[in-house]
Copies of this chain bind each other. A is one copy, B any other.
Amino acid sequence: MLTKAEAGTDIAKLMAEIGAKARAASGPLAIASAERKHAALVAMAEALIRRQDEILAANAIDLANAQEAGLTSAMLDRLKLDSGRIGAMADGVRAIAELKDPVGEMIAEWDRPNGLHIERVRTPLGIVGVIYESRPNVTADAGALCLKSGNAVILRGGSDSAQSTAVIHAALIEGLKAAGLPKDAIQIVPVTDRAAVGEMLKGLSGNIDVIIPRGGKSLVARVQSEARVPVFAHLEGLCHLYIDRSADLAMARRIAVNAKMRRTGICGAAETLLVDRAVAATHLVPILEDLRDAGCEIRGSDEVRTLFPDAKPASEADWSTEYLDSVISVALVDGVGGAIGHIDRYSSHHTEAIIAEDAVAVERFFNEIDSAILLHNASTQFADGGEFGMGAEIGIATGKMHARGPVGVEQLTSFKYRVRGNGQTRP
């Protein structure tokens, strides 16, 4: 990783060169065989394991620098690698290797009355830009997912993890070379200057087809507001869990605790609990007792606090707060219609769940709410590409364009039409 002085000040020129190299690599990559990409991924996983000591040594430097810079213990934990985490990284790359190759897959085909046969087949998007923060494993995950989907990738990691990232990147390049694929298929931006991110957001003169930010809300917000190219991202996961009057109480209690407390820091964690006013008397207190006993802080509306005095008062801001912590906001609503109204107003359109036995209420919830993922009688924490059976995800998108929900290898592809004729002219 170079400083601004070492790189020279012309970040725009450096980034333009990276874009041009990515474009040059994207051609051969798009037509690389499934076997060759598989071989590269397997070789990458092996190189990660082989270079374990080197990765740990680099990570120790990153950790020492981070400690000196006064990073929080949560940030240090995200940065830290050990042999278990390196093994998991290599396993992740191997799992991506074993996924079905999406490129060239026939999505649809049909015949026309004039004899034309039309095929719609998957193609790579081209070049993916990934902007991330301190987790070094994103380097391997994103590199592997983009390679599998035939895309060149430009990775811009955080400066905190620069040393670790550089060695992980070297392992990925080893895999590319072993399989005879262009090394520029996976590039790391070698400068810490924030201007490099600005250049990526401008799209490098058409040499970035999509940007994927991985990190905190401020990073995602900057990318969403400044990017001149499409972005796959979610700003936040303000997920709702609604307990309908027809809910099975035992199921509601289990799912509420899981949706909130299994892991509080992930985007699929529930942040607001809505309980049907019709069953407030029977359902609210047991669910809140379970949450409280699991260590969760309850912030309730006045009505909720009357029934459950342990709750702290919820302010208006609570309904639009993604806590990512052991805190939940709780309100009563008038049936599924009331829940839909609340969710329409406050949701980030990521994931919402309904607990109900009444099929009519479920269908209304499913039809009328326009969030990426809707669940019935299941925890919001299933909002995850792996849990959806996609093998791995590079993130979750809440936009409506192209990719929505978990972004896996399929979502990293576009398509084209192949039309087969035998001499047809158009009348």
Pick 11 A–B contacts, CB within 8 A, sort by A.
Answer: A31-B367, A104-B367, A257-B425, A370-B416, A372-B417, A375-B421, A377-B421, A378-B425, A401-B401, A401-B414, A402-B402
Question: How many of chain A's residues have a CB under 8 angstroms from any CB in B?
Answer: 59
What are the residues of chain B within 8 A of A374 when measuring CB–CB? Answer: 416-419
- A404/B414 in contact, CB under 8 A: yes
- A415/B424 in contact, CB under 8 A: no
- 7 new A-B contacts, CB < 8 A, other than A30-B370, A125-B401, A255-B425, are A116-B378, A116-B382, A251-B423, A254-B423, A377-B421, A378-B421, A378-B423
What are the residues of chain B within 8 A of A422 when measuring CB–CB? Answer: 377-378
Interface of A is mostly: mixed
What are the residues of chain B within 8 A of A255 when measuring CB–CB? Answer: 423, 425
With known contacts A230-B401, A368-B31, A400-B126, A382–B424 Cβ distance under 8 A: yes
Determine which residue in A257, A381, A417 has the highest number of CB atoms from chain B within 10 A of its CB, and name it: A417
CB distance from A124 to the nearest CB of B (A): 8
What are the residues of chain B within 8 A of A370 when measuring CB–CB? Answer: 30, 123, 126, 416
What are the residues of chain B within 8 A of A419 when measuring CB–CB? Answer: 373-376, 378, 382
CB of A210 within 8 Å of the partner chain: yes
Proximity string of chain A (346-386) to chain B, C-beta cutoff 8 Å, 1 when within and 0 when not: 00000000000000000000111011111111110110000
CB distance from A360 to the nearest CB of B (A): 14
Residue of B nearest to A252 (CB): B423
CB of A258 within 8 Å of the partner chain: yes
Question: Complex: how many Å from CA A370 to CA B425?
Answer: 23
CB of A194 within 8 Å of the partner chain: no
Question: Complex: how many Å from CA A258 to CA B114?
Answer: 15
- A425/B118 in contact, CB under 8 A: no
What are the residues of chain B within 8 A of A378 when measuring CB–CB? Answer: 116, 419-425
What are the residues of chain B within 8 A of A424 when measuring CB–CB? Answer: 377-379, 382
- A415/B404 in contact, CB under 8 A: yes
CB of A53 within 8 Å of the partner chain: no
CB of A389 within 8 Å of the partner chain: yes
CB distance from A296 to the nearest CB of B (A): 15
Q: Which of B248, B401, B426 contacts A210 (CB 8 A)?
A: B401
CB of A387 within 8 Å of the partner chain: yes
Residue of B nearest to A369 (CB): B416
Chain A, range 4-62, C-beta contacts under 8 Å to B: 27, 30-31
